Structure 1
């Protein structure tokens, strides 16, 4: 972060110095802002509580100490970090007349949110590979997905996500920005790019390249993994066996559909090719709704997680 800050400070000193930005948010009507505050506060609390509960259950129940749930715990940490990078500020702005953010805070917010978002895509691709090994090579699953490989894959996802975010953040904030009003509820990549007063063709190429590497490559891995999974399931003779094998993948497949579908709709288009209001709604869905749904999807559709929750609740009821 020191390197990021020095690079950005050096580039900004050669441009018009600004102390911060103003975020237009989602609405200028006070009553609407209060209603949105109540709604998003409830969703934020549910997101944090749900993902934290997943972490606690995985930590307490030894039956969940498997590669699948290790990656799920990393996903929960990423979702908590991503949500906390934008939502608390948005909630405070709903009740504030001045929706401002300092320059450094804007840089940090864009960097962290983009890093967490990028990491999640790589992580979902890794989880698809994990499901492929579990279904197609069940007898060698523990040997292939050993602890060292799982840690290495998780670390690789984080490194790739933060590297992509660092590059994009430096490229964006080295641009001369002619305006200080961001038509968004957060310092989001495409919204900040619109403030530039120079040609951003290079940045458009970088956004497209980043979108391909961060979104499409993991998406291809997911499609390849599930193609092999479906082929393996079809070779299972018993309907009960096919149902059990596919049941281990449905939660992940649901989350993948939500995350990749939303992100492709948001970022895999020309920078100026969509209305800003529509873009905010899509970003809002990805920043709040998807992290909130992840623990619900994995909990409600997973007997192991439900069993772990019942076990923990049973211990509390006995001690009470």
Structure 2
């Protein structure tokens, strides 16, 4: 370091001292006012040693081959960032890689890739929000078509949102009960409701839900998905219900036939089913509007769509 180089401030954080790079003294190499400069982009040599290639300097723009040699190491600064920011283990590993010795151009490419990744994430969030808006509108439309009493008007969105939140809470609670009872029906705890008719009776007790062939088929399908035979991961609650949405229409008949073979026919008093053509008007209304709900959608966005429609 030249004698006239500035001394680092004693108050600077020691972890940042590597940012203070020594400035070379080029006063002796600076050409005089009368010296003719070579054309930009050409190479000239110092007067000290014309034969030593290490003394060559560039008088013009740095070429691409030279730029690739400008490698910087930000590892100390990366340690400083990790000590002062809350990052996940995965993010810390990515930061270590970014701060390790790399050419400047590579770091720019990394930053651009991260920007594109965040852009894709935001687009996905907008699509999810759009799906949530669709199901909320369909639910409101259905309730108004059914003339549900006490429903707030459309010009009071906060109250409407409150109603939708309460409905979502009830649906989530019933989903949990439904899954628990179907799983119990395959164990010794469900001895009294192994038959699909008995299982349905336990679930729709004290409700206005009628017994239909479609209800039995859906319960048989859920029981298959909740068995070891399905191979579905049951630990992830949300992904399980999305898988239900994505495969239900393709598997109902097969699962229903296999369930009757394994657990018995739903015969006997109280197990008769009601054809949908004879169902109550409110059930027909729900079935009609349910066709407009995207697969995997939810009111609050907790259930995610696994594939594009």
Provide the TM-score with structure 1 as the length reference: 0.24
Higher RCO (Cα < 8 Å, 6 or more apart) = 1
User: Which one has a larger percent helix, Structure 1 or Structure 2?
Assistant: 1
From the CA coordinates, give the structure whose radius of gyration is larger: 2
Provide the TM-score with structure 2 as the length reference: 0.24
